[in-house]
Amino acid sequence: MNTGLPDAALRLELFCPPAGQTALLKQLDLGVDTAAFSNQWRQGVLRISWPALPNHVNQADNLTFTLVDSGDYGASYQAGSTNIGAAWMLPEITVSVPGVADTGAPPGYCDFPMPPALRGPVGVQVTSPASSDNQAALLVAQWYLG
């Protein structure tokens, strides 16, 4: 997707959680639960970026980012239905950053699409592998309008 300029008003920052722990980067209210638009794809992406992770050297482990969609500000994640029927579940949108032997993982970013039927403010759940401690790494989530 060709992304436009970032929206400075829709930016979140979080230091990477300690090894083996999870933190929640929350929340951006993008108006995703507005009735007229709740079943359409959004014309933009939530970009998550990270700096170089020199301690993330185990190739078998991943730093994981998972999109949180929640009308209850993080009490539940991508598991509910929104007036469509109990059998319909939202897909989990997850990105994994593998470790790189010797040098650690390079800096990078990933773009999360905003699928239909999101339930409210969005955020990102960050899970650090037990094998690496990157607490000094500043993670940034920013909205880019398409």
Among candidates 48, 33, 31, 49, which has minimal Cα distance to 113?
48
Domain assignment present for residue 146? The answer is no
Q: What is the pTM of this model?
A: 0.81
* 97: nearest Cα among 124, 130, 127, 135: 127
* pLDDT, tens digit, 9 for 90 and up, residues 33-61: 666 555 666 778 889 999 999 999 999 99
Tell me the residue range of the domain where 97 lies. 6-141
Can you give the CATH number for the domain in which 78 is found?
A: 2.60.120
- pLDDT tens digits, residue range 70-83? 655 555 555 444 44
If one counts the domains in the chain, the total is: 1
Rg, Å, the chain Cα set? 16
d(CA 126, CA 22): 6
Q: Does 1 reside within a domain?
A: no
